[in-house]
Structure 1
Amino acid sequence: MFLIPILCVVAFAAGLIDAIAGGGGLLTVPALLVALPDARLALGTNKGQAVFGSGASLVAFARAGRVDKKRFGPTFLAALVGSILGARLVLALRPEALRPVVLVLLLGVATFFASRGLGRSKKTTEAAGEAPPPRRPLPIAERHPALVAVAIAFVIGGYDGFFGPGTGTFLITLYTTVFGDDLTRATANAKVANFASNLGAFGSFALAGRIDFRLALPMAAMQALGGFLGARVAVRGGERLIRAAVLAVTLALALRIAWQIASTG
């Protein structure tokens, strides 16, 4: 009776978190893994609601002129192909074999996500009167930008099709490190790959009948609302607090999944 309202609340929180700090999938994926017995159905349903949010974000960034047009095509196609292959791999695995794999990935991404908040934030650096360090692209990215963009998009797209949480964070980190993008530009370019990978996985899971649209559609609406509000929230220290909350909830849900595995084993 209360399943859909609870998942809608989770989706709203995920949208809010994604807009402020990234990592909304760290809430929606484990919540769906708890709610649905088949891990493939949980991952597919997550794509059923995530594709709408990433698509809307991409349109907004493109209209603002923040997307690199030279990288757009190669990035989109590579992420699309990678995600389809990743989703097909998930669909080929038995549900009982997939759940432990997902649990390990979930804990690994949560650890990575938490570690990103350990250093000084941009606000702290600016408050200290320090100029942000200049970012320069790696030499290989300067010589072969399209090829490097394809490699990144294909690998991360494959990961997104197979699992998903943390995809945006990984892309932004790589784009700032490899291409020297500033955070706004990196976030915009990340949306290209993220939407393409969500779209490829969405199509694969939908064709296989592994999306519960009864859950995906209301979650999509609430995540969009959370993202809309989160983009307008500016709370001092909010990012660190959000990251701590995401880590706590993720670990709690991961323990719940581990208990389910132990009980059925």
Structure 2
Amino acid sequence: MSMPQLRKPPPSAYTLIGDGEHSQVFRRHSSRYCIQLFTLNCPELTPHKVRLEYDYLRKVYDALPQLIPWQRLFVRSLNHHISEAVVVKRWVHTDVMLPLGRIRRTQLRHGTAAQLDQFIAITRTLVENAQRRPTLLPDIFDDRFRNLVIDRAGDLRLLDTNRLVNTNALRALASDETLDITRHWIHGRFFRRMIYLEAAFRERTTRELQHDPLYRRYLSPDDFEALVQESRTRHEFV
């Protein structure tokens, strides 16, 4: 598979350290910062949207000021294509010994566990509010579990603030209708990750979560079980 095409390569001193579907992240050795460059084929994402979504996350998670790493967008005009933009981010040293997809609450410091509690509570509120007004959901469902991480200081961090998930599909549901997780697979992955986070770090049982009004509103019993089974298949603790 070929690498996604950038408008121009990064400076020669920078090394590729991460990649996504529509961007690549580079860092110069020992630098406190890294840069994110976007591909030529990057639908929907614009410089304006990058800035808007970053500011949105900073606002809704303001109770967790360490969660969103500092970043700054550089582009000649917000009307230009995203491939012409550079996002400079403060580098986060991830604690590789504490991958959230493989640990439990008992392995965390008290302060880190408290941050996860607060993150889950705020994120649940975004879903609950979606019934009344548009909200955006953070990308916490990447397959490699490298976006929501713990840093070496023990703080919870959300590394990528781009391409948030809108809640239009949730708001459009009739009162007796649940989400089609095949058609709206991104929302399904979001709920799968939320169920996992609550099970692993709030120590809630699968039975409790299945009867939780938040999940019962959007997921049929069969779809809930399918998401739990997928999480187990990925060797997550549920």
User: What TM bracket, shorter-length normalisation?
Assistant: under 0.3
Q: Which is helix-richer, 1 or 2?
A: 1
Report the TM-score, using the length of structure 1 for normalisation.
0.25
Question: Which structure would you say has the larger RCO, counting Cα contacts within 8 Å and 6 or more residues apart?
Answer: 1
Q: Which is strand-richer, 1 or 2?
A: 2
Report the TM-score, using the length of structure 2 for normalisation.
0.27
